[in-house]
Structure 1
Amino acid sequence: MNIKNKFSGLRDFFILWSSQTVSELGTAMTNFALIIWVYSQEGTASSITFLTLCSFLPTILFRFIAGAIADRWNKKRIMLLADLMAACGTATVFILYSLSALQVWHLYIINFLLSFMNAFQSPASYVATSLLVPKEHYLKVSGLQSFSGSIITILAPALGSSLLAFGGMPMVFAVDLASFAAAFVTLLIFIKIPDVMHSTEKVPDSFLKSCMAGINYLREHPVLLRIILFFSVVNFLAKAGNDGMMSVFILAKAGGSQKALGMAEAAVSLGILAGSILVTFMKPPKNKTRVIFISCILTFLLGDVMLSLTPSLPYWVVSAFVSYVPVAVLGANLNTVMRTHVPIAMQGRVFSARDTLQNITIPLGLFLGGVLADHVFEPFMCGPSSLRQALALFFGTGKGSGIAVMFFTVGILGFLVSIAALRNPLYQSLNDSE
C-alpha cells in the first residue's frame, strides 16, 4: 500500500492539523520567552511554578462544563472563539510590554483566562478530529498529533531563543500573532467540520444533566471508567517520579548544569517523536489494551528505575529517550480506544470527564514529589544509617541520591500497578468489541 492510499480521506484533517501546529509553535515560543522574562524579573522557581499552575487548573476545573458546551454548540465556532481569545491574550501582553507596563501578575491573570478558554477549545478540537477522520485512521491521526507535539517541544526553545536574540520580545510576539492569523484564516475559510448527528429526544437534557452526562456514561461503561482511573494512578506516580521530577534530579546530580538538563529534555522530545512516527506508520494492533499496559511497564522500568540506577549524563539521556518512546505509543492507542467506544455525539462530555479524572491527581503528585524529595528522601540519604550506606552502592551519594531512591520506589510501584492491569481479563472487552 503506498503512502497516498495509506492516508486517503485525511485532506481536511491535514490542513487543520498543519495550520494548528504552526499556531501552537508560535504560542510555545511565546511561553518559552515569557518564562525567561518572568525568571529574570523574580528569580524564583515558585514564580514559574505559579505561572504553570495558572495555566493548568482552570482547564481541569471547567472541563465538565466545557465538554457539555462542546457537544451542544458548533465545534468550529468554539475553536475560532478560543483561538481569537488566545490571540487577544498575546496582543495584550505585547501592548503592556511595549509600554514597559508588563508585570508578572498580569501574566498570571492572562494565563488563567487563556487556560479557561482552552478548557472549551480542547474538547471541541477533539470531537472535530473525530468528525474529520475516518475510523480506520484514528491511530494514525493520534500518532501525527503526538508527532507535531514533540516537534513543537523540540523547536520552540531553539526558535524562541533565536527570535529573542534577533529582535527581542517584540519579535516573538509578532511571530506568534502571525502564526495565529494563518491558523485562524485557514480554519475559518478552508475547513468545514461536519455536524454531529444527534438522536431525537422528546425533552432535551438540562444543562446540569448534560454536564454530568460524561461521568454518567463512564459509570454505565465500567471498563472505560476503570482504565481512566488506572491512568489517574499512573499520572500521580509519574508526576511524583521521573515525569515530574526529572529536571530536579538532573540539576541536583549535575551540579546545576543547564546543558545537562537541556540534553535530557531534548532526548525526551526525540523519544516522543520516535514513538509518534512508529505509531503513525505501524499496523494498528488488535489488542490495544495490551499495548497500552506494556507501554506503561516499559515507561516505568526504562524511565524511573533505569534513571535512578544510572550514574552520569550519557545514561540519563538514553533513559530519557527510550522511556518516552512507549509514552507516545501508549497515548495514541488510548485515544484510539476512547474514540472507538464513545459515540461522537458524547465525545466532548466523555473526554472532558476523562481528562478531569485522569489529570486531577497531577497537582497532588507534583506536590508530594517535591515534599518527599526535600524532606524525606534527600535528608535520609545524607544521614549516617547502615541502610543509607547500602543504598548508596546503587543510587550514589550526595545531592540527588535521595531523589534517585524515590524514582526507584515509584518505578517499582508503577511496574506492579501496570502488571496487575495487564493480567486483568476485564480490559479484553475493549478489544473484543472493536
Structure 2
Amino acid sequence: MTVSARPDAPPGPLWRNRDFGLLWFGAAASILGVRVASIAWPLLVVFDGGSAEQAGLVGFAALLPQLVVQLPAGVLVDRWDRRRVMLCADLVGMLAIASVPAAMLLYRLTVPHLLAAAFLEGTAAICYQLAERAAVRSVVHPDHLPAALSQNEARSKGAGLVGQPLSTTLLSFASWMPFGVTVVGHAVSMVTLLAIRTPFQRPQRKPATLWKDLGEGLRWMREQKLLRSALAVISVTNLVSQVLSLSMILIVKESGGAVTTIGLIGLATGLGGLLGALCGSWFMKRLSLTTLFVGTLVLRVVLIPVIALTPEPWLLAGVFAAMSWAGGLMNVAGGVYQVRITPEEMQGRAASVGALVTSGANSLGPLTGGLLLGAVGTTSTVVVAAGAMTVLALLAFTAVRRYGGTSNEKVWARP
C-alpha cells in the first residue's frame, strides 16, 4: 500500500498546515453554496407559480448526477490534475448558478433552464468533491489523515445543518439570493485553490482509454473484499435509515405532533452527525476497525426498537441523534480506511464507486419505507428495520473477521 503526503517530515499541529486550511475553507464555502442551491431549486419552482410535478422534476435533475456522473467523474479525477478539476468544477457551477438570477432579471426563467442549471451544478459538485477528497492525502501528513477527514466530515454535516435554514431565509427575502450565495461560495473556493502551493497528486502516467481506466478501477474495487463488503453494508444501512426517517414522521403525526416537532428531531439528528464526525479521530486512536465498524451497527440495533415503543419527541430526538452520531463516526472511519488502502492513482475511481454504491440506496429508502408502512404499519416497519440492522451487524462482524486480518488492522492503525 502506498501512502503519499510528505512522510519524511515530522508533523506539526494540523491547524498550522496552511494548505489544508485553505483547502478546507474553500471547500466549506463551495459545499455550503451547493447545499443552499439544492434546497432552493424546488422551492423556487413552487413559489414562482410552478406545479409540484415541475418542482419534483427540477429536484430530480439536481440529484441525477449522483447516479450517472459518479463513475466517469472518478476516472476524470484520476486522469487530470485535481486542482484544475476543482477549478473547472467551481467555474461550471458558478456559471450555471449565475445564469438563474440573470434569467430572473431578464424575465426569461423557464423550467428547462432550471433543469439544465441544476444538472450542471450537481455534476460540478460531484467532480469537485471527489477531487477534494483525493487531494487531502497530498496536503496533510499521514499521521494527520484521520483528523483531516474528521474535520471534512464535520464540515459536510455543518453545511447540511446551516444550508436548509439559510436557503429558506434568503429565499423569503428575494428569490435570487440563495443562488447569489452559491456563486460567492464557488468564487471563494477558486481563490483558495489558486493560493495552495502543494501539488494535489504525483505526476501521472499516460492515461489509457476512459473505459480501460474505469474497468481498472472496478477490478481493483472487486479485489478489496473488506472494503467491498463494508460498502454493501453501509448501502443497506442508508436504506434502513431512510425507512426509519419516514416512520418517524408518521409516528409523530399519528401521536398528534406538529411539523415543528419533526424539524426539531431533524435538527437533533444533524447535530448528532456533526458530533460523530468531530470525535471520529479521537475514537480511531483508541479503537480498532473491527470495533468501530461493528460497534456502530450494534448501537443502532439497540436504539431502533425505542422508536417503536414511544412517540415522545425528546426520546425520538435522542435516538435519531445517537444513530446519526454513529453514522458520522463510521463515515470518518470508513473514509480514512478507504483513502489509506487506495493507491494514489486510484483515489478518484475508488471514491466514485463508493459514493455510487452508498448513495444509490438513498433513492430506494423512501419507496421501501412507503410500501412497508402502507402494508404493515409503523410498529411492524420499525421491527423489520431492527431485524435488518441486526443482520447487517452480523454480516459486518463476519466480513471483518474473514477479510480484515492483521495487515488491514495495521493499515487502519497507522500507515
Instruction: Say yes or no: TM over 0.5.
Output: yes
From 181, 200, 222, give the equivalent of 1:194: 200
Q: Between 291-300 and 267-276, report the one with greater CA deviation.
A: 291-300
Deviations 1:77-135 (A, max 9, x none): 11111111111121111122233333444333322222233332232122111211222
TM-score normalized with structure 2 length? 0.86
Quote the residue 1:212 is aligned against. Answer: 215
Q: 1:320 to 1:50 in 2, by over 3 A?
A: farther
TM-score normalized with structure 1 length? 0.83
From 10, 17, 36, give the equivalent of 2:43: 36
Deviations 1:289-316 (A, max 9, x none): 32022112223442x4322322122222
Please tell me the residue identity of whatever aligns with 2:237.
Answer: V
Q: Between 109-118 and 60-69, report the one with greater CA deviation.
A: 109-118
Deviations 1:260-312 (A, max 9, x none): 1210110111101211221244452451232022112223442x432232212
Quote the residue 2:331 is aligned against. Answer: 331
Runs of 5+ consecutive residues of structure 1 not aligned to the other structure: 378-401
Q: Is residue 185 of structure 2 the alignment partner of residue 179 of structure 1?
A: yes
Map 1:40-51; keep pairs closer than 5 Å. 40=47, 41-42=49-50, 44=52, 49-51=56-58
Quote the residue 1:101 is aligned against. Answer: 108
CA deviation after TM superposition for structure 1 residue 140, in Å: 1.0
Quote the residue 1:262 is aligned against. Answer: 263
Quote the residue 1:383 is aligned against. Answer: none
Map 1:11-90; keep pairs closer than 5 Å. 11-40=18-47, 41-42=49-50, 44=52, 49-90=56-97
Map 1:158-173; keep pairs closer than 5 Å. 158-165=165-172, 167-173=173-179
Quote the residue 1:405 is aligned against. Answer: 380
- The whole-number CA distance in structure 2 between the counterparts of 1:114 and 1:371 is 32
> For the aligned residues, what is the CA RMSD?
2.6
Give the secondary structure class of the aligned counterpart of 1:101: coil
- The whole-number CA distance in structure 1 between the counterparts of 2:396 and 2:282 is 27
- The whole-number CA distance in structure 2 between the counterparts of 1:144 and 1:250 is 34
Quote the residue 2:373 is aligned against. Answer: 373
- The whole-number CA distance in structure 1 between the counterparts of 2:324 and 2:106 is 42
Quote the residue 2:391 is aligned against. Answer: 416
Quote the residue 1:311 is aligned against. Answer: 311
Deviations 1:115-174 (A, max 9, x none): 233332232122111211222222112211121122222222333344344x41233333
Q: Is residue 289 of structure 2 the alignment partner of residue 274 of structure 1?
A: no
Quote the residue 1:151 is aligned against. Answer: 158
CA contact (8 A) 2:135 2:201 kept: no
- The whole-number CA distance in structure 2 between the counterparts of 1:149 and 1:136 is 22
CA contact (8 A) 2:171 2:177 kept: yes
Give the secondary structure class of the aligned counterpart of 2:201: coil
Please tell me the residue identity of whatever aligns with 2:409.
Answer: N
- The whole-number CA distance in structure 1 between the counterparts of 2:308 and 2:54 is 28
CA contact (8 A) 2:292 2:330 kept: yes
Deviations 1:392-431 (A, max 9, x none): xxxxxxxxxx134212211221122213322441143231
Bigger Rg over Cα: 1
Quote the residue 2:3 is aligned against. Answer: none
Please tell me the residue identity of whatever aligns with 2:180.
Answer: A
CA contact (8 A) 1:250 1:261 kept: no
Please tell me the residue identity of whatever aligns with 2:64.
Answer: L
Q: 1:191 to 1:281 in 2, by over 3 A?
A: farther
- The whole-number CA distance in structure 2 between the counterparts of 1:92 and 1:74 is 27
Quote the residue 2:7 is aligned against. Answer: none
Please tell me the residue identity of whatever aligns with 2:366.
Answer: L
- The whole-number CA distance in structure 2 between the counterparts of 1:427 and 1:47 is 47
- The whole-number CA distance in structure 2 between the counterparts of 1:85 and 1:300 is 43
Q: Between 403-412 and 97-106, report the one with greater CA deviation.
A: 97-106
CA contact (8 A) 1:59 1:119 kept: yes
Alignment length (residue pairs): 398
- The whole-number CA distance in structure 1 between the counterparts of 2:391 and 2:341 is 27
Please tell me the residue identity of whatever aligns with 1:327.
Answer: G
Give the secondary structure class of the aligned counterpart of 2:175: helix
- The whole-number CA distance in structure 2 between the counterparts of 1:407 and 1:104 is 39
Quote the residue 1:394 is aligned against. Answer: none
Q: Between 364-373 and 144-153, report the one with greater CA deviation.
A: 364-373
Q: Between 357-366 and 412-421, report the one with greater CA deviation.
A: 357-366
* Seq. identity, %: 21
- The whole-number CA distance in structure 2 between the counterparts of 1:405 and 1:229 is 24
